[in-house]
Structure 1
Amino acid sequence: MNKISQMIIVVLCSLFVFNCKKDEVTSPLISERTFTWSGFTWVVKNSEEITVGPGPNYFSNSTDNVWIDNAGELHLKVTKRNGKYYCAEVYTTESVAYGTYTFYLSSSVDNLDKNVVVGLFTWNNKNCQTNANSEIDIEFAKWGNGADPNVLQYSVQPTNGGGATDRYSRFPMHLNGDYSVHFFNWTSSIVSWSSYHGHTNPPPQSNLIAAWSFGSNHSPTSKTECSSNPIVIPAPENDTKLDLNLWLDRANAPSNGQEIEVIIHRVDYYPLTGQFTENFDDGDFTNNPAWTSNVTSSGCPLGTISVTNGELRTYQTNGSGCGNGAFIYIDVDILLSASTKIQFDVKPTFSDVSGGAGVQNDEYPAVINLWLVTSIGDTVIIRYAYNYRGGASWTRTNYIVIAFPNCQQNVWKRNEQFIIRDYLPNAVKIVKVQVGGQGWNYEGYFDNISIVN
């Protein structure tokens, strides 16, 4: 992780900027020690009597420096032995990639000694040339300036010693107690970060400490350390690891002479997988065996759902006073990022109910339902509903209705787009996509449905 030069002393500090992982030549690790925690197997970095980056520092795999307590929390500690300070670092044996990363901290990292750095980041030791080590960072540090309130730092590498000022951002942080939770979402087109007081997830907006994002509109940058290919957002490639460390900036001893300990409650990683596309050009939807028809009647005439001219049509006739729903659905497993969106074309053609709410259900001739699982395990349905005769929705538990009741009748609305987490910030993945319509007599069309990251 790159040290950001202090703005008030840029000329001096820019000479001492280091990567939070390895900016100096690193020796092979000695006496490898591993342990399992938070769903991963971790390697404890160990350099013994050789200084290595970042810092450069001595790193120890002693249980005095890295251990799991009885409550299952990870402790990283900088210790002093025989006149030397030994730092702590762990990294996963498993590879990570695009996805959502969550770090629950149980230490007041807002009050660190000015020479101490805490790093939560991704790192690939094999791809500096192609992707600048695939490094996405959250750091807590004062970088030698004890008066600096901006202890929280987000960055996407390379920042080249703070020279690429658009690639990082720093924020003040004053915690309400010891607990905090920190997120980043890494995709090919955007990286977004946020930090909150407490361990509540999803966190209330009132607990927000800071948030920032970095998109693909920035200029490509080369990592000077290895003259890498210019990149905007690094790709993970193979062998990218999740890394946690506690170290001393430029190997300077803690200014108060005290050992330092940081406690991490747990980390979560949800990989970003899969996209979804359906344009119905293969004829009837039944040609795709993954789709399942779901027509409900409750004793009413059945609705119909079919494909005509490469468009999905859902309709019902002879159903006045007796409503139903005609849908198809497909089970999926699509993990979400902050930028994952659904897009589609939709055309509400007919509805014989004005106002949009029937006796027991919504009256919308064109509906898409996304079944979502949240970070706390709840299932929530987001409904995108279209009509031209007004609309109302019944209040239901675990439903979020995004309604467009005043569309133009029988006119396509092309390329409708919605970022899914705008309406459900703690959504983790989509498990079902359901498309159709419902009401008394109705008719609606869909085409070109996709879910993209």
Structure 2
Amino acid sequence: MPAEGNGVVAIATSTGKPVAPIVSKVIHFSGYDWRVRNAASDRGGQPNSYDPSNVWTDKNGYLHLRMEEHDGVWTCAEVSLTRSLGYGSYIFVVQDIGHFGPSAALGLYTNDDFRPDDIRNELDIELSRWGIADNKNAQYVVQPFYIPENVSRFMAPSGVLTHMLRWESGRASFKTVRGSVIGPGTATVSEHIFTSGVPTPAKETAHMGLYSYRHSQSPTKQPVEVVIEKFEFLP
């Protein structure tokens, strides 16, 4: 510190207070390590808080994501892979989401969290009614979503569903089937192929996030939980 005089009028010091370190939680699921989100996010149209305790695996190895109130604050859940996979097939086996209220949203997507906002590289499978009770409850998206041809909406029925994104150069193919396997004889719920605006791989990672869409406008009254049985990647 400089001494008083020569333009320095006064000197004051203050002792800083230590803060708790931010501990990064990593969870193992389906043979991969996933980083558990603990920072707020504006995904869903307004800031949502995230609590690592809302994420866990059970004795079957299934992943649980939960939204609930903690100490008066509505908290969400999200995990992201600790490494990038690039082109290939991303497969998610999800248990019944029929209990979702209008504002609940499950995002299964690839995204680079550190890319500039003006460079959109996100591919989404999203399960939500976006605050409208009689809306279709699922969609495939090549961001940005506000371009009509970048979105394909459909109704996801009750029961276990398998959602797949096949990401190739200039092509993103989405498919949803009933049950936990994609193969001959499985009943297709929806499928769509995008060939415009498909991003190229960079440092994106797979994400699975359960959050609330504009929670203050259409609040979820009860805790919401979703179970993801399996994640699989095929080059």
Separation in 2, partners of 1:81, 1:112? 19
Report the equivalent of 1:212: 192
Report the 3-state secondary structure (helix = DSSP H, G, I; strand = E; otherwise coil) of the residue aligned with 1:166: helix
Separation in 2, partners of 1:180, 1:86? 25
Letter in 1 for 2:25: R
Which one of 12, 16, 41 corresponds to residue 52 of structure 1?
A: 41
1:233 Cα deviation from its structure 2 partner: 1.1
| C-alpha contact (below 8 Å) 1:122/1:241 kept by paired residues | yes
Report the 3-state secondary structure (helix = DSSP H, G, I; strand = E; otherwise coil) of the residue aligned with 1:71: coil
Report the equivalent of 1:349: none
1:135 Cα deviation from its structure 2 partner: 0.8
> Are 1:124 and 2:112 counterparts?
yes
Report the 3-state secondary structure (helix = DSSP H, G, I; strand = E; otherwise coil) of the residue aligned with 1:109: coil
Task: Summarize deviations over 1:271-310 as a string: whole Å, max 9, x none.
Answer: 2xxxxxxxxxxxxxxxxxxxxxxxxxxxxxxxxxxxxxxx
Against the structure 1 CA distance between its residues 46 and 165, is the aligned structure 2 distance closer, same or farther, given a 3 Å change threshold?
Answer: same
Task: Summarize deviations over 1:8-44 as a string: whole Å, max 9, x none.
Answer: xxxxxxxxxxxxxxxxxxxxx9321012111211111
Report the 3-state secondary structure (helix = DSSP H, G, I; strand = E; otherwise coil) of the residue aligned with 1:268: strand
| C-alpha contact (below 8 Å) 2:131/2:218 kept by paired residues | no
Separation in 1, partners of 2:62, 2:226? 10
| C-alpha contact (below 8 Å) 1:38/1:266 kept by paired residues | yes
| TM-score of the pair, normalised by structure 1 | 0.45
Letter in 2 for 1:155: V
Against the structure 1 CA distance between its residues 234 and 131, is the aligned structure 2 distance closer, same or farther, given a 3 Å change threshold?
Answer: farther
> Are 1:165 and 2:148 counterparts?
yes
Q: How does 1:32-431 map to 2 (within 5 A)?
A: 32-47=24-39, 51-55=40-44, 56-62=47-53, 65-106=54-95, 108-128=96-116, 131-132=119-120, 134-148=121-135, 150-159=136-145, 162=146, 164-175=147-158, 178-202=159-183, 204-205=185-186, 207-215=187-195, 218=196, 232-237=197-202, 239-252=203-216, 255=219, 257-271=221-235
Unaligned runs of 5+ in 2: 1-20
1:255 Cα deviation from its structure 2 partner: 4.4
Report the 3-state secondary structure (helix = DSSP H, G, I; strand = E; otherwise coil) of the residue aligned with 2:172: strand
Alignment root-mean-square deviation, CA: 1.9
Larger Rg: 1
Separation in 1, partners of 2:22, 2:175? 36
Report the 3-state secondary structure (helix = DSSP H, G, I; strand = E; otherwise coil) of the residue aligned with 2:214: helix
Report the equivalent of 1:448: none
Report the equivalent of 2:14: none
Against the structure 1 CA distance between its residues 254 and 262, is the aligned structure 2 distance closer, same or farther, given a 3 Å change threshold?
Answer: farther
Unaligned runs of 5+ in 1: 1-28, 219-231, 272-453
Separation in 1, partners of 2:160, 2:94? 6
| C-alpha contact (below 8 Å) 1:42/1:93 kept by paired residues | yes
1:204 Cα deviation from its structure 2 partner: 2.1
Q: Which has the higher contact order (CA 8 A, sep 6+)?
A: 2
Percent sequence identity over aligned pairs: 29
Which structure's residues are more often helix, by fraction? 1
Against the structure 1 CA distance between its residues 147 and 139, is the aligned structure 2 distance closer, same or farther, given a 3 Å change threshold?
Answer: same
1:110 Cα deviation from its structure 2 partner: 4.0
1:173 Cα deviation from its structure 2 partner: 2.2
| TM-score of the pair, normalised by structure 2 | 0.85
Separation in 1, partners of 2:234, 2:55? 25
Letter in 2 for 1:214: F
| C-alpha contact (below 8 Å) 1:40/1:94 kept by paired residues | no
Against the structure 1 CA distance between its residues 251 and 31, is the aligned structure 2 distance closer, same or farther, given a 3 Å change threshold?
Answer: farther
Letter in 2 for 1:234: P
Task: Summarize deviations over 1:157-181 as a string: whole Å, max 9, x none.
Answer: 122xx2x001111012222xx3110
Report the 3-state secondary structure (helix = DSSP H, G, I; strand = E; otherwise coil) of the residue aligned with 2:89: strand
Letter in 2 for 1:194: K
Letter in 2 for 1:67: W
| C-alpha contact (below 8 Å) 2:103/2:220 kept by paired residues | no
Separation in 2, partners of 1:60, 1:191? 32
Separation in 2, partners of 1:125, 1:91? 10
Separation in 1, partners of 2:103, 2:35? 25
1:131 Cα deviation from its structure 2 partner: 4.3
